[in-house]
């Protein structure tokens, strides 16, 4: 499922990902100036991928970007990366109207 994901500041302290956030912020800056690219956060469960993505989403929304959120679940029946397959096959990104 790919959906709008309103970013929010949960008040939680975010530590230990300075290098990753520098790289992600650079990618965000590029995207906001028309030079976007795909960034993948990969790793073992529980290492902070989602939390890092949430921090980037908050930053992106505060800078005026529209944030969309996708998740892949480990369940039988859906192929890996299914939300991204749907997104790439949609006539408009995530089924959102063209404005």
pLDDT of 68 reads: 80
User: Could you read off the pLDDT of 9-65 as tens digits, one per residue?
Assistant: 556 677 788 899 999 999 999 999 999 988 888 999 889 998 999 999 999 999 999
Give the number of residues written for the chain.
99
User: Is the predicted pLDDT of residue 6 greater than 50, yes or no?
Assistant: no
Q: Are 93 and 36 in contact (CB under 8 A)?
A: no
Choose between 6 and 75: higher pLDDT.
75
At 79, give phi and psi (nearest 5°). Answer: -75, 155
Domain ranges of the chain: 2-95
b/e per residue, 77-89, with b = 16+ CB within 10 A? eeeeebbeeebee
pLDDT of 3 reads: 44
Q: Are 66 and 7 in contact (CB under 8 A)?
A: no
């Amino acid at each position: 499922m790919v959906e709008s994901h309103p970013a929010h500041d949960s008040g939680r302290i975010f530590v230990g990902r300075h290098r990753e956030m520098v790289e992600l912020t650079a990618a965000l800056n590029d995207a906001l100036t028309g030079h976007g690219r795909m960034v993948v956060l990969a790793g073992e469960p529980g290492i902070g991928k989602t939390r890092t993505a949430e921090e980037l989403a908050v930053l992106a929304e505060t800078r005026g970007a529209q944030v969309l959120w996708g998740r892949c679940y480990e369940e039988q029946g859906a192929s890996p990366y299914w939300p991204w397959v749907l997104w790439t096959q949609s006539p408009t990104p995530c089924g959102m109207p063209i404005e």
